Amino acid sequence: MLDFIRNWIINITVVMIFIMLLETILPNSDMKRYVNVVVGLLIVVVIIQPLMLVKDISLQFNKNVLEATAFVQQGSVAAQAVDLNRYRKQEALQLFEARIKGEIGRLLEQEGIKNDNARIELELATDIDQQDFGRIRSVDIYLDGGDSSAIEVNKINVSISKVDDGDDNKSVMNKDNGEYNFSDNSLTSKLKNSISKALGVEESAVSIRAK
């Protein structure tokens, strides 16, 4: 009993000293009043400790404090979890996009097109709440760049056939409108086919344009 009273008095004294120190190092502001409320509650807790032991509800008190703390923190933790999940999905989407671009670049290189001359644009489903999140909606590949020799296309035959009405039916495929030539040649369809197979998307979702 004497030991308990001794501990109780030590507790009160030490808490008082702490609070005195706290008062001195606290910034001079309006905040002091609010700090005093918390400190006052702590002093009450320390003072009523013997009563808690008499009724043997000390454990109950600690349990209540922990439960209330968990309840208060629950909301912020849940919000953080949502943010973290969103961030994780965005990161995964970026990684996915980079991988797909790398894969397309590899396919283009297989066909002899340098990656420097190709600009790949992907349209992905970015809405995290939707079920089709991350689905590839379209793939646009723009082939251009300063080095025109990098874009190798099949040999183009220029055929000009004379028709009855006198007009020339020209399927003119000259160097000046290489874009038209390219979009029509077999390499384009071969690329489209291989990309759609590799990514598991429909061929219509893949478009290749050359400048």
| Residue 16 in the binding site for another protein (CB under 8 A) | no
Other Cβ atoms less than 10 A from the Cβ of 139: the count is 22
Q: How far is the CB of 80 from another protein (least distance, A)?
A: 15
Interface residue with another protein among 8, 46, 103, 119 (CB under 8 A) is 46
Burial of 96 (0-12, 13-18, 19+ CB in 10 A): middle
Span of 4-12, 84-92, 138-146, 175-183 interacting with another protein by CB under 8 A: 4-12
Do 158 and 172 touch, CB atoms closer than 8 A? yes
Other Cβ atoms less than 10 A from the Cβ of 109: the count is 12
Interface residue with another protein among 5, 16, 18, 132 (CB under 8 A) is 18
Q: How far is the CB of 15 from another protein (least distance, A)?
A: 7
DSSP H stretches of helix in 55-206: 58-110, 178-184, 186-199
| Residue 64 in the binding site for another protein (CB under 8 A) | yes
Do 143 and 118 touch, CB atoms closer than 8 A? yes
Q: Under rule CB under 8 A, how many of the chain's residues touch another protein? A: 41
What is the residue whose two structure tokens read 């995290």?
A: 128
| Footprint on this chain of another protein (rule: CB under 8 A) | 7, 10-11, 14-15, 18-19, 21-22, 25-27, 29-32, 34-35, 37-39, 41-42, 44-46, 48, 51-52, 55, 57, 60-62, 64-69, 72
